[in-house]
Amino acid sequence: MLKEQKAKIVEELSDALSKSPLILLTDYKGLAVDEITKLRDELYKVNAKYRVAKNTLIKLALKNAEVPAAEELESSLQGTTAVLYTEGDAVLALKALFKFIKETKKPVVKCGLMDGKFITAEQAKEFSKLPPREVLLAQLVGQMQAPIYGLHAVLSGSLRKLLYALNAIKEKKE
């Protein structure tokens, strides 16, 4: 590989990693080309990418991107390494990856960064079980609205009882 090609790969990776809320390192050993293509297709649907690169190029890209906690990732840059990164929802990318892993038993997740914080393979698997961001936001809004609806029900119940009492008095006097 020429120096220009390596520099281009490092530049592309640096740019992508600096913007990504999720960076996950995996060991892709044992994956066939058609399997990697299938994984990339699944990840593309959720606005994520899976890139195979040399460890030294990934290390340079992490340094150039000034990714927080990059030092912790560098210790996992051994053997065959591919990097998963996303521009969209990190949880959706994790769901797609772990669905693929469940079907093929490959690749092996090493570690990663999620919103600038180091995560282990086990933590990444737990995050993949979370509902998507939109669902979590809807649940949050629902939880915030519940006390308001409860207050409305209590107040309208009291007013309704008062109205029934006033109607009963009215009918009694007629």
Q: Could you report the per-residue pLDDT of 130-155, keeping only the tens digit for each?
A: 888 888 889 889 888 888 888 788 88
Average pLDDT, the chain: 90
pLDDT at 70: 81
CB 93 within 8 A of CB 132: no
pLDDT tens digits for range 114-134: 988 999 999 999 999 988 888
Find the length of the chain. Answer: 174
CB 12 within 8 A of CB 58: no
pLDDT tens digits for range 12-31: 999 999 999 999 999 999 99
Instruction: Compute the distance between CA of residue 46 and CA of residue 93 in angstroms, rounded to an integer.
Output: 6
User: For the sheet containing 82-86, what is the strand order?
Assistant: 48-52, 82-86, 22-27, 108-114, 117-120
Q: What is the pTM of this model?
A: 0.77
Q: Is the pLDDT of residue 80 over 90?
A: yes
Instruction: Compute the distance between CA of residue 110 and CA of residue 163 in angstroms, rounded to an integer.
Output: 66
Could you tell me the pLDDT band of residue 53, with boundaries at 50, 70 and 90?
very high
Share of the chain above pLDDT 90, in %: 60
pLDDT at 11: 94
For the segment 92-116, the average pLDDT, to the nearest whole number, is 93
Structure tokens that stand for 11 in this block = 């530049």
What is the domain partition of the chain in residue ranges?
3-130, 132-174
Question: Nearest CA to 127 among 49, 24, 46?
Answer: 24
pLDDT at 43: 95
Find all residues with CB under 8 Å of 52, minimum gap 6, and list them. 28, 36, 80, 81, 82
Burial class (CB in 10 A: 0-12, 13-18, 19+), 35: middle
Q: Is the pLDDT of residue 99 over 80?
A: yes
- Give the distance, in angstroms, between the CA of residue 153 and the centroid of all CA atoms in the same chain: 37
**Domain 3-130 classification at class level:** alpha beta
Torsion (CA) 121, 88, 55, 98 in degrees, nearest 10: 30
